[in-house]
Amino acid sequence: MSMASYNCPTCGTIVSSEKLGTAVHNHYVKELASVFLKKGHEVIQEGTFPRIPETMDIDWVNHLKQIKIEFRAQNWEKVARTWREPDIIVLQKPGKDQPKISAIVEVLGTAEDYRILTAKVLKIKEFVRPESIIVFDAIRYVDRFLSKSRKARLKKILDLKETPTTYAEIDEYYQQKLRKDFDIEFEIWNEDNLKEDF
């Protein structure tokens, strides 16, 4: 397997790995955690929430199966059922009477099965109830995989009026769909948000 690399546009780090997608994911988990720490928050990476059950209501799973997707993860249903470890748990700044979860941040993978993302945000909303849910997508990385044929497939599968030019448009499609179908509100971040004083 050959070594591939990615130049992070926010911190300048060159990420190199034979499994670059995983390496980029892990890089942004650390970078996002660092940003929140610098803002004075307490941060937990890859923490498990025992209150999130390792099962999923069958009605949820059946609803997830109706979501239109272009990429299909072979083990999506198992991941959807058993997931309970958010990438980043952001606690309120110290000084409050009781620690409170300010945000849950989930970093998308290279090729995300959006049924898995839906299951994750559903569980976060239902069992954790943070002040905000943030989904981070490394657009400048994943857009390298948005070939002409994939653009055409996405346009057809998702019944889009225009051919997508970036995965940011696909993320927005799912954000609106999850808001409509599941009453879920979440923010979508990409590399540009790391450059801003949020």
Two structure tokens written together for 180: 């409509």
Q: Spell out the residues 6+ positions from residue 138 whose beta carbon is closer than 8 angstroms to its own.
A: 24, 25, 28, 107, 108, 190, 191
Q: Tell me the Cα Rg of the chain.
A: 17
Q: Which two tokens stand for residue 183?
A: 């009453």
pLDDT in tens, 4-61: 889 999 888 999 998 888 899 999 999 999 999 998 899 999 888 888 877 777 677 7
pLDDT of amino acid 104:
94
Backbone angles phi, psi at 88, to 5 degrees: -140, 130
Dump the DSSP string for 71-97: S--TTHHHHHHH----SEEEEPPTTSS
Per-residue pLDDT of 123-169, as tens digits, reads: 999 889 999 999 999 999 999 888 999 899 999 988 999 999 999 99
| Residues 109, 142 contacting (CB under 8 angstroms) | no
Residue 39 near residue 54 (C-beta atoms within 8 A):
no
pLDDT band per the 50, 70, 90 thresholds, residue 176: very high
Record the pTM. Answer: 0.89
Please give the pLDDT value at position 58: 65
d(CA 35, CA 14): 18
- Say whether pLDDT at 96 is over 70: no
The 10 Å Cβ neighbour count of residue 70 is 16
Instruction: Provide the residue type at 175 as one letter.
Output: Q
